[in-house]
Amino acid sequence: MLILNGNKFALNDEEYTNSLFLSGGTCVGYYKPLKASITILDHNKDKIGVINKYGVLCKATKQDFDTKYHYSYGDIKQVGEYASYSQEVEEVEQAMHDNNIVKQY
C-alpha cells in the first residue's frame, strides 16, 4: 500500500478490493514500482503520475494527438495538494525506501 497525502494506492487488485472493507479509507488508484521509479495509476489503471528516480512526484498527461506522456511538476487530482513541500518530500522518500528504490542525485 502506498499512501500519498492521505490517499491510498494499491499494488494489486486484491489489495484494492480489501481496502473497501477495511477502516481508513478506500484506495483511489494503483501504483507500480519499477527499477528506478514508481508509476501512479488511477482506478482505471491509466497513468496519472510518477515518482522519478530523483524523488520528484510528477504529474503525467497525454494529449489526444500524441501517444507520449508529458511530465510536469503539478498537483495530481487523486493525490491532492500537499500542505507543505517538506511533507511531500518525506512521503515520496518513504515510498521510495519502501519499494527499494535508491534516490539518485
Confidence of residue 33 (pLDDT cuts 50, 70, 90): very high
pLDDT, position 44: 94
The tens digit of pLDDT for each residue in 45-66 reads 999 999 999 999 999 998 888 8
Whether the pLDDT of residue 2 is over 90: the answer is yes
Confidence of residue 21 (pLDDT cuts 50, 70, 90): confident
Q: What is the DSSP string of 41-95?
A: EETT--EEEEE-TTS-EEEEEE-TT-SSEEEES---TTT---S-HHHHHHHHHHH
pLDDT, position 74: 87
